[in-house]
Structure formats: C-alpha cells, structure tokens
Structure 1
Amino acid sequence: MMRKVALPIGETCAERLMPSADEDLMPGVKWGDPWVVFTPAYWLSQAWMLQLEEMGSSSYRARQGLVEELVFCLLGGFGITAELATAAFEACEQTGVIERRETDPDVWTQILLQPLDIGGRKVRYRYPNQKAKFLAAAMQRISDLRLEGVDSKSARDQLLLLPGVGYKTASWVVRNVFDSDEVAILDIHLIRAGLLCGLFNDKDRVEKDYLSMEARFLRFSSALGLRPAALDCLIWDGMREAGDLPLQLLSVQHPGSLAA
C-alpha cells in the first residue's frame, strides 16, 4: 500500500508516494516511517528534500586525480576524522611530497609529526609512522598500476595490492576517481546506519564480510532509487550530524555490536 508524504522540496511543498512502514524494502528490511530517524523511509525523504535522485556526476571528490585521492584516503580511516585527514593532506601538499610522489617514509613521517591546525587548535596526527610507510610504498608502486580502460572492481583489485590499502580505502578511491556506483565505502557511519535499519546484523564484520555487506548496500540503494555514491554521502553526513544519537540507539538495539 502506498501513502502520500508531504515534504519541503526546493521552494515548494511537494507530495511523494512511499510504501507503508511495514512493507519490505528488501528481505529483512522494512520501510519504516520517514519521521523516524535512520529508517529507509527517513533516508529516502532526506534524499528527496535534497533532490539527490537528480544527482549526476560526482560532487563528492575530495581531490583531483588518482595520486591525490589515494593520499587523501590513506590519510583518513579508523580513528581519524575528516578534518584531521584534510589538515594532514594539506600539510603534505604544501611540502610537495604528493606532487613528486615521495618514496622515502622518513620524509612523510616528519611532515605528519608536525602539529596540524584545525579550526585554530593544534592537533597531532594519529599513526604518523605507520601511515608514512604506507604512503611511501604507495608512491613507489602506483606507477605500476594499469587502471586505464578497466572496470571499477578491477581497478579496486589493483589498488588492494598496495600496502595499507583495504577494501574501504580502495573503494573510496575508486568511487571518487571513477565516479563509480559499483562499489561502496563501508565506514563506521554507514555500518551503524545499516545496523539501525536492519540492513546489517551483529555478526557482520567488514574484515571478512565486506563484499557481501557491499552487495546488500548496493541493493539497498537500488531499492530506494538512489545512486550508491549519493546515498553514501547522505548517510555519512546525517550520522555525523546526529552526534551521539546513533550510538545511543545501537546500545539498546545492538548492545553486542562492535559498532555500538
């Protein structure tokens, strides 16, 4: 059964049709209500209000070009905020190590050991030695990659050969560089959102289940009629803006989850 939902879209109030809350969006995932946070209906209503279903080419690229994207994505990751990764990237960019594809890890380490300015605060970058080794190795081997004319998943497979690059980082680079909807970036925000709406379960682990979880998210995006890249960004922003609320809900609904 379909229902009408009134939403502010652009400068008007528009009515859209949406299935009832108890209908299945896909096996194991109910639509829910658009006024209940983190349900599929909620995410779709947010996308409609932002007119994301009309989204064309990428508007989420952090940097331009494969080398820049790879460096930026390697500088991000677990325990590193987007703001810290951005500040670290800018520090590396200013010294020229990215442009010249520096292969000496000690050079990267010296840059990453310097305090970084984030909104007027001096912040230390996390894991400078480890990330420096990964960055230097990536710069040494990136010219060996043959990414021209290959599909997104084949490009990701090649990136996975680089030290320190796992499925999330490789997918992040491929999504941004190739404007790909064939991969998904399963970061902690998207995983938490998936747990809250029933897309993922407590037994899922990205370390061993990345591809099956990715496939579910891609089906989820298709069922909502949204580009995976657009939905990914929407969820990432929405979960960050929600503060501690996702964690509070997870502690009740999924107390044993590693994402709680």
Structure 2
Amino acid sequence: MHKYLEHFMQHVISLYNGTPVRRLLPDPAEAVLPGVAWGRFDEALTPAFWAAQAWMQELAGGEAFGLGNTLAEEVAACLLGGHGAPAEVGLAAYGRVRQAMRGTAGVNGGAIESMLTTPLKVGDRLVRYRFAKQRSRQLGECLARIADFDEAALDDISLRDALTLLPGIGPKTASWIVRNRRASDEVAILDVHIVRACIHMGIFGAGATPARDYAKLESRFIAFCRAAGTRASLLDALMWRTMRSIGPSLAGLRPASNPSSIGDARWGREHVRGRWIEQGRSKS
C-alpha cells in the first residue's frame, strides 16, 4: 500500500485585463532550493513573496531595460551610475555626457571630465559628481576600446566577460550593461540591495561578498530564479527597487517565519502592488 502525503498550494490571485488570474505556489514548508523554504507569499521578502511579485510584474507588462540606444551609451550610463554614485546623480551625469556623445564633435576623457566637474541638476539641487576625474578617464578609454567590439558575435556571458576587461568595469557593472542591452537572464547585477534580499531569504550566507565570490553567488541567484519560475532580469530589477525603498536596515522586518508552524486552514490578505491577493490552501 502506498502512503500519499497531502500537499497544499498557495493561491496568488491578480487581475489581468480585468479578469482574475491565479498562480499556484508550493506549500510554504517546501524547499525552493535545498535548505531554503518557499515561505508565505504574503510575508514580505520570502521566496514566495518574490515569486508572486515577479509574476504580477510580468502581468503588468514586465520591465523596460536599457538606458541608451547603443553599447557605448549603455557603458556610459552604467559606469557613471556605478559604485558610490546615487542612482539620481548617475543618471544626471549620464544625461549630460550622452547629449555630447550624440553630437558631432565626439567626446574624450578631457571633455567628459569638464562635463562632470560642472555641478549637476538633481531635482531642485545642484550636486557635484564625486568621481569626475577617475571616471572621465575610464569612460574615455572605454569608449575608444568598445569601438572595436563585435557585439553581435558575443553571447551574453562572453560579452559580460569582455566588458570586465575595460577600465572601471567589474562583473556587476558589466552584468548591468548586458542585462540592459539584452534583457539577459544569464547574468545578475549583484549590488548591495540584491545581496541583502538574498541573505534575508537564506539564498546567500550571512557573509556573502560579491567582490570575492561573484560567480558563485550569481550562479546561486540564477538557480533560485529558475527554481521559482521567474526571470532573473525582472527579479533583479524588482528586488533592487523594493530593497532600495526599504533602506539599509531590515530591523523592522522579522525573519521569515518557520513555515511548518503555519496552520492548514490559515488565510491572509495583503494589498501588494495595488492588487488584492489572497492566500488559501487547497490540496493537490
């Protein structure tokens, strides 16, 4: 005689073109990766939460990637918005440089430095770009060297690896460029926000350091995305926005609860991303 165990599914309900649609997620106690439980989708920052949010984002039209129209523009955007530059400041710097790049005179390191040393308008403030000298030199060299790239001949990983050979571009910035150019799901942009989310879930260990272990952590993140049935490119962007809005401290959020303590008939409602979602339990 075979003994069958009862499994319960989580129901996520959203609206698509005015019609309710449903996604089923596994029982909170089941593992999405070895040692990592799905958790409840209506509990913030669990694997099930991210899977539900990514699914609803896809229903809403997905994500728009890309800050430039060419590889050169994307390199400029991501290099200027890289480590240490707040997103708004990086975009302001890129906007100024991009305008010059689209002109007829061309740009070089000296011209870029002149543009970056002039205060930038960010909202109602004038701010200085902190890395004007260093990044203008790096960007000038990058623009000269990528003129020889045969972008179409390179797959996503090969393009990322080639970009890491350019000055000022490490694996995170190179992955950002590739993701933006190709909406690639083969790379991950492991900045502090993504790392924080993955540590909270238990996908990464508490001491995860992309600077030391980028390839290993990227592989782990992509494995999670595949197991959760989400696109890495979309989830990366979604996590970045969400974790950035939360801020550097998760002190106000309790860790994921022990899924095995959740009662079989428990129901909950949350208003997430402007849609009502409902958690119920049904046997499958």
TM-score by length of 2: 0.80
Name the structure 1 match of 2:84.
79
Structure 1 residue 212 and structure 2 residue 216: aligned? yes
Q: Tell me, yes or no, if the aligned pair for 1:156 and 1:174 is still in contact at 8 Å.
A: yes
Higher normalized contact order (CA 8 Å, seq sep 6+, divided by chain length): 2
Structure 1 residue 128 and structure 2 residue 132: aligned? yes
Could you say if the C-alpha distance between residues 119 and 18 of structure 1 is closer, same or farther in structure 2, counting changes exceeding 3 Å? Answer: same
Q: Which amino acid aligns with 1:226?
A: T
Q: Which amino acid aligns with 2:15?
A: I
Cα offset for 1:210?
A: 0.3
Could you say if the C-alpha distance between residues 101 and 32 of structure 1 is closer, same or farther in structure 2, counting changes exceeding 3 Å? Answer: farther
Q: Tell me, yes or no, if the aligned pair for 1:239 and 1:246 is still in contact at 8 Å.
A: no
Cα offset for 1:200?
A: 0.7
Q: Tell me, yes or no, if the aligned pair for 1:22 and 1:31 is still in contact at 8 Å.
A: yes
Deviations 1:64-85 (A, max 9, x none): 1100000000001222122111
Name the structure 2 match of 1:117.
121
**Matched-pair identity in %:** 38
Cα offset for 1:224?
A: 1.2
Name the structure 2 match of 1:256.
none
- Aligned counterpart in structure 2 of residue 235 of structure 1, from 233, 236, 239: 239
- Over aligned residues, Cα RMSD in angstroms? 2.4
Name the structure 1 match of 2:100.
95
Name the structure 1 match of 2:10.
4
Name the structure 1 match of 2:55.
48
Q: Tell me, yes or no, if the aligned pair for 1:76 and 1:82 is still in contact at 8 Å.
A: yes
Could you say if the C-alpha distance between residues 7 and 242 of structure 1 is closer, same or farther in structure 2, counting changes exceeding 3 Å? Answer: farther
By percentage of residues, which structure has more helix?
A: 1
Number of residues paired by the alignment?
249
Cα offset for 1:188?
A: 1.2
Structure 1 residue 61 and structure 2 residue 53: aligned? no
Matches of 2:179 and 2:103, distance apart in 1? 20
Bigger Cα Rg: 2
Deviations 1:113-163 (A, max 9, x none): 111111121111121111111111111211232322221111111111111
Matches of 2:176 and 2:124, distance apart in 1? 28
Q: Which runs of 5+ in 2 are unaligned?
A: 1-6, 257-284
The alignment partner of 1:5 has SS state of strand
TM-score by length of 1: 0.87
Structure 1 residue 195 and structure 2 residue 199: aligned? yes
Name the structure 2 match of 1:22.
29
**Quick check: 216-225 or 43-52, which moved more?**
43-52
Matches of 1:99 and 1:4, distance apart in 2? 57
Could you say if the C-alpha distance between residues 209 and 100 of structure 1 is closer, same or farther in structure 2, counting changes exceeding 3 Å? Answer: farther
Matches of 1:161 and 1:244, distance apart in 2? 31
Cα offset for 1:45?
A: 1.5
Cα offset for 1:235?
A: 0.9
Q: Which amino acid aligns with 1:47?
A: A
Cα offset for 1:101?
A: 5.0
Q: Which runs of 5+ in 1 are unaligned?
A: 254-260
Name the structure 1 match of 2:40.
33
Cα offset for 1:234?
A: 1.2
Q: Tell me, yes or no, if the aligned pair for 1:221 and 1:228 is still in contact at 8 Å.
A: yes
